[in-house]
Amino acid sequence: MNNNKLFIKFIVSSLILALALFVFRMEFILGNVKNVDVYEDYKNKNGKMSDKYINVSNANDEKYLFIYNPGENISVKIKENLSIVFSSIKKNVDYKVNTDNEFSFNKYKCVIIDFEYLYKFKFFNELFEYVKNGGTVIFAVRPETYNGLEGISREVGIYEHREITNIKGIKLTSDLMIKGNGVSNPNAEISAIQTQIDENCTVHAVSTNNRPIIWEKPLGNGKILFTNGDLFQYKKYRGLFIGLLSKIKSGFIYPVMNMKLNFIDDFPSPIPGGYNEKIYSEYGRNISDFYTEIWWPTMLKSARKYNAKYSTYYIESYNDLVRGNFSEARSKENRDILFKLGYEVIKNGGEIGLHGYNHEPLYLNKKIKDADLGYKNWFSQNDMIQALKEVGNYFNSVFPDYKFRSYVPPSNIIDKIGKSALKKVFPDIKVIASILEGDGDEDELHCVQEFSKDAEGILSIPRFSSGYRYTEEKKWDIYNGIMTYGVFSYFVHPDDILDPERSEGMNWEEMGTEYNKMMEDVYTNFDWLNSMTISNGGIELSKYLDTDVVFEYDNNSIKGYCKNFKGIMYYILRSDKKIIKTDNCDFKQIDDDFYLIKVEDCEFKLEMDDAK
């Protein structure tokens, strides 16, 4: 009898001890799940300026001339798009109207022609003399075929032309973009001249039906780069334009952010209950078990194999409340999911940001109802604030020392009132990540972004593409983003498998295969990209925006001088020469003629040799 009592006491004591150890372990884990404000450290750094920056900047040796027609709609759109490119890569540009009465070309590294009606420009003779003496001209839009083209067709490499027609597709036939030879966008719609070009032209891109779209024509000691299309009004061809700039002459260099960002929206989030027929037939699991035992392990394995870190975006509920008792969404099941999956995100080097209390975008305007997306209008900003407070309190009941430092708007939709509510409740949020391109020119609903910082210090980091299927167009978008900014920025959702449209009819095995195909391609061709989460991405963006740079060029060297240098910067150099020596920088060859330059101080130098 006494032995039984002792045994029972032992069992009870062991259980109490095990429970105490479990509670202690949980408290230890929760108490140590925290994230520091890395952006605050960046802001407190003093920027360095090269002693030579001002003098070299005033000398203005690297300057571009951009000639456009404010009366042509396409010309204006192209100017607006490409002016952002020039600003991003820190190049000095003079903008002039094509009907000006005076032009001088010799002081410019390159002249860009951005107008269709050539007859209005009276300085082509002088322009082609500039090219023959070693200059470069880029035609950024195909001209009209009457009133002007006939007079310059031989200089630009055209020996026969007919009317302009609309054609589909573009495919690179050279290394105009990094690793870009053969990359295509079959969905491109191009207004192009039916033309035959000279044999001494180098074709850099063709349409699906093999019509020349971009070519290079030597003229004297210089060159013409001709665009037979209207592509450069769109963001997805910015990298292509930088590729043209990089062909100006050996030694074109520009800043990039060098970051690889992988996003998972709606994660962690409440997992739908029940069964999905497709999932159950393949895996014999309900939806919840599929997420935790199949989908998430696959995503983690992919991240480890292809060097990715996930920035994920938490949502508390999928209810449609826009007023009322927001705390009704709380449940033990949702808390357990948040703890388990949230902890695994952080443990594996990821970061959790905010997606929302629910999936109703922070948007007051009735346009959101008119858009027929199934969303409701919030009644007031105060309702938004109460919902945001609820999700913040609930999240901190699980991870008390972890703060949201970034936000992804549900469906990439948020208005100024919603942004203000977000700022009031979460002052630690420094980054909003949405999308680079919307649904056409008239899209006033989505939060379409540039890489930028607003007046309140909130950084914008757009995503370039999304989804699991790796199409040619998505590949184009990825390569374009890497060429333009040195950035990979891509997002998926865990519940895409449940949506016939977003899954595109694929099962999970097919979706996972497609996703890994994309991850492998980026890992193989752009292994130099630094994988990071969104907070560190905010620092790289800040350096990119805050640091100005000017260059001095001679035959065998490039010298860079920075202003407000706050830490390591990256540049992409295109040169047909071999780098033989560096000062305050290092380099890695990332493609034929392309180098990634890692700069460690506010002055740096590259020395090259003609032999390669």
How many Å apart are CA 204 and CA 215, to the nearest integer? 5
For residue 92, give every residue at least 6 positions away whose Cβ sits within 8 Å of its Cβ, in sequence order, or none. 60, 62, 63, 64
CB 158 within 8 A of CB 170: no
Say what the pLDDT of residue 16 is: 60
For residue 354, give every residue at least 6 positions away whose Cβ sits within 8 Å of its Cβ, in sequence order, or none. 313, 314, 391, 392, 404, 406, 407, 408, 426, 429
Average pLDDT by stretches of 10, the chain with 612 residues: 62 56 45 80 94 95 96 98 98 98 97 97 98 98 93 97 97 98 98 98 98 98 98 98 92 97 98 92 95 97 99 98 94 95 98 98 87 89 98 98 98 97 98 94 90 97 98 99 99 95 94 98 99 98 98 94 98 96 98 98 95 56
CA dihedral 434→438→442→446, nearest 10 degrees, is: -30
Say what the pLDDT of residue 24 is: 41
How many Å apart are CA 398 and CA 176, to the nearest integer? 50
Say what the pLDDT of residue 611 is: 59
How many Å apart are CA 20 and CA 207, to the nearest integer? 69
- 217-245 b/e with 16+ CB inside 10 Å = b? bebeebbbbbbbbbbbbbbbbbbbbbbbb
Cross-strand bridge partners of residue 226: 139, 215
Cross-strand bridge partners of residue 485: none
Say what the pLDDT of residue 366 is: 81
pTM: 0.94
For residue 521, give every residue at least 6 positions away whose Cβ sits within 8 Å of its Cβ, in sequence order, or none. 470, 475
Q: In terms of Cα–Cα distance, which of 222, 220, 214 is closest to 108? A: 222
User: CB count, 10 Å around CB of 39?
Assistant: 19
H, E, C per residue of 358-420: CCCCECCCCHHHHCCCCCCCCCCHHHHHHHHHHHHHHHHHHCCCCCCCEECCHHHCECHHHHH
Say what the pLDDT of residue 369 is: 76
CB 142 within 8 A of CB 179: no
